[in-house]
Amino acid sequence: MGWRSRSADQSFLGMRRVPGLARILALALVAPALAGCESLGGLFGPKDDPVLDEPADRIYNEGLYLLNVKRDTKGAAKRFEEVDRQHPYSEWARKSLIMSAYAYYEAGAYDDSINSARRYIQLHPGSPDAAYAQFLIGSSYFDQIREVSRDQERTEKAISMLDEVVRKYPNTEYAVSAKRKIEQGRDQLAGQRMLVGRYYQERRDYTGAATRFKEVVTKYQTTRHVEEALLRLTEVYLALGVVSEAQTSAAVLGHNFPDSRWYKDAYALLSARGLEPSVNKGSWISRAFGV
């Protein structure tokens, strides 16, 4: 068998940033005095001596200034955390906690963002911003997804956390973005299975290869990898001498993707052996696609 792959499995996912709800909240809540200020010292007064109990709104606005003007995301997160530390039962503390999660996310401090967002959900599960906090958790894992040849634990966690957004907050704007990220994550997992399957196929471990390709067909049927998976199943089943399954795989491929380049290869492969695509109704492949 001449080996080739037209798949783009090796390319990494293009990551998209989280919607900027926190920035909108920040602009709405920031004090008018922030406009036109050039330094924290001039705006909020000297910082030589630590203040044990600063006003909550003052600390919060310092965080907003660092976030929106100075672009000091980690510094902003620390100020938001200070609100929670000094005024733990105030409304400012609730707002600051979600803002710290957002600021840490923007800083790429994903573990800190996850911790802040989880704490927010634990303390304020009924808040309108709980959906955003859950979305930040999933997005923090999503942005750490590694290339398809590496371990995909973060991909699994991203999908799980984003699925919580879809399940618990289906009518929010974040559910739409979560669904898109979930599909990207599932495509990543399917690509990893394809990579392993092709590895086994190259080494003539056809049973091991078939197991991985079957997983793509049954668990990741809506991803872009399913067409190639059906072709590879045609190849490995022929190599194993399971002709009826090879014919079924090719037939299902042709039925669902008649213009697919992978189907052309599957059809040519069968034709070279005097065979044609044909559905075996008892095959797991036909059942998986309802053919």
Higher pLDDT, 31 or 173: 173
Establish if 56 belongs to a structural domain: yes
pLDDT of residue 118 exceeding 60:
yes
The predicted structure's pLDDT at residue 20: 55
The predicted structure's pLDDT at residue 6: 40
Range of the domain at 72: 21-121
For residue 131, which phi and psi values (nearest 5 degrees)? -65, -40
- pTM greater than 0.85: no
Q: At what angle do helices 206-219 and 226-240 cross, to 10 degrees?
A: 150
Boundary of a domain, candidates 77, 106, 121: 121
Boundary of a domain, candidates 121, 156, 184: 121
* 236's tokens: 């490995």
pLDDT of residue 15 exceeding 70:
no
Establish if 174 belongs to a structural domain: no
pLDDT of residue 212 exceeding 90:
yes
The predicted structure's pLDDT at residue 9: 39
Mean pLDDT, the chain, whole residue set: 87
Q: Which of 59, 123, 121, 122 is nearest to 96 (CA)?
A: 59
The predicted structure's pLDDT at residue 23: 44
Establish if 16 belongs to a structural domain: no
Q: How many CB atoms lie within 10 A of CB 27?
A: 12
Number of domains in the chain: 2
Establish if 101 belongs to a structural domain: yes
* 282's tokens: 């008892």
Boundary of a domain, candidates 102, 121, 140: 121
Q: What is the mean pLDDT of residues 222-231?
A: 97
pLDDT digits (tens, 9 = 90+) for 155-172: 999 999 999 999 999 999
Q: Please, which pLDDT band fits residue 18 given cuts at 50, 70 and 90?
A: low
Report the distance separating Cα 135 and Cα 173, nearest Å: 10
Per-position DSSP letters for 69-123, written without gaps between them: TS--HHHHHHHHHHHHHHSTTSHHHHHHHHHHHHHHHHHT-HHHHHHHHHHHHHH
Establish if 105 belongs to a structural domain: yes
Establish if 269 belongs to a structural domain: yes
Establish if 2 belongs to a structural domain: no
Q: What is the mean pLDDT of residues 219-241?
A: 97
pLDDT digits (tens, 9 = 90+) for 24-81: 454 445 544 443 343 444 455 555 444 457 899 999 999 999 999 999 999 999 999 9
Establish if 259 belongs to a structural domain: yes
Percent of the chain with pLDDT over 90: 80
The predicted structure's pLDDT at residue 53: 78
Report the distance separating Cα 142 and Cα 155, nearest Å: 6
Report the distance separating Cα 11 and Cα 207, nearest Å: 27
The predicted structure's pLDDT at residue 291: 82
